[in-house]
Amino acid sequence: MPRELQFQVTPEVAAQPELLQQHVARLMHVGVKDIQHVIVRKRSIDARQRAIKINIKANVYFQGEAITEEEVRLPDYPNVAHKTPIIIVGAGPAGLFAALQLIELGLKPIVIERGKDVRGRRRDLKAINRDHVVDEDSNYCFGEGGAGTYSDGKLYTRSKKRGDVDRILRLLVGFGASPEILVEAHPHIGTNKLPQIIQDIREAIIHFGGEVLFESRVTDILVTHGEVQGVELHNGQRLQAKKLILATGHSARDIFELLHRKKILIEAKPFALGVRAEHPQSLIDQIQYSCDFRGEFLPPAPYAIVKQVNGRGMYSFCMCPGGVIAPCATSPGEVVTNGWSPSKRDQATANSGIVVELRLEDFKPFAKFGPLAGMEFQKDIEQRAFLLAGQTQKVPAQRMVDFSQKKVSAEIPKTSYVPGTTSVELGEVFPTFLTQIMREGFVQFGKSMKGYFTNDAILHAPESRTSSPVRIPRDPITLEHLQIKGLYPCGEGAGYAGGIISAAIDGEKCALKIAESIP
Common-topology check for domains 3-62 and 85-267+469-517: no
Rounded CA-CA distance 283/269 in Å is 36
The answer to whether residue 448 scores a pLDDT higher than 60 is yes
pLDDT above 70 coverage of the chain, percent = 98
Q: Which fold has domain 3-62?
A: Alpha-Beta Plaits (3.30.70)
Residue 53 pLDDT level (bands cut at 50, 70, 90)? very high
Rounded CA-CA distance 320/309 in Å is 24
For range 28-51, the mean pLDDT: 93
pLDDT at 153: 63
Is residue 462 reached through a cis peptide bond, with omega within 30 degrees of 0 on the bond before it? yes
8 Å CB contact between 288 and 505: no
pLDDT at 406: 97
55-68: b or e for each residue (b if 16 or more CB lie within 10 Å)? ebebbbbeeeeeee
pLDDT at 295: 87
| Extents of the domains making up the chain | 3-62, 85-267+469-517, 270-463
pLDDT at 226: 97
Length of the chain: 519
pLDDT at 152: 60
Rounded CA-CA distance 137/135 in Å is 6
Rounded CA-CA distance 342/323 in Å is 7
Positive or negative, the Cα torsion across 289, 292, 298, 299? positive
Rounded CA-CA distance 125/324 in Å is 14
CATH of 85-267+469-517, one of 3.40.50.150, 3.50.50.60, 3.40.50.960, 3.30.450.20: 3.50.50.60
User: In this predicted model, what pLDDT tens digit does every residue of 57-91 receive, in sequence order?
Assistant: 999 999 999 988 778 999 999 999 999 999 999 99
For range 317-343, the mean pLDDT: 94
**pLDDT averaged over every residue in the chain:** 95
The answer to whether residue 503 scores a pLDDT higher than 70 is yes
Higher pLDDT: 129 or 71? It is: 129
8 Å CB contact between 349 and 416: yes
8 Å CB contact between 122 and 143: no
pLDDT at 135: 97
Rounded CA-CA distance 94/105 in Å is 16
The answer to whether residue 168 scores a pLDDT higher than 90 is yes
pLDDT at 151: 63
Residue 157 pLDDT level (bands cut at 50, 70, 90)? low
pTM (2 decimals)? 0.94
pLDDT at 173: 95
pLDDT at 59: 95
Positive or negative, the Cα torsion across 434, 435, 439, 440? negative
pLDDT at 160: 53
User: In this predicted model, what pLDDT tens digit does every residue of 100-117 receive, in sequence order?
Assistant: 999 999 999 999 999 999
The answer to whether residue 161 scores a pLDDT higher than 60 is no
pLDDT above 90 coverage of the chain, percent = 88
User: In this predicted model, what pLDDT tens digit does every residue of 204-231 receive, in sequence order?
Assistant: 999 999 999 999 999 999 999 999 999 9
Q: How far is CA 171 from CA 22, 198, 200, 252, 324, in A?
A: 33, 11, 11, 27, 28
For range 197-207, the mean pLDDT: 97
DSSP SS3 for 37: strand
Rounded CA-CA distance 424/428 in Å is 8
8 Å CB contact between 350 and 320: yes
For range 295-324, the mean pLDDT: 95
- In the beta sheet, which residues pair with residue 324? 340
Residue 159 pLDDT level (bands cut at 50, 70, 90)? low
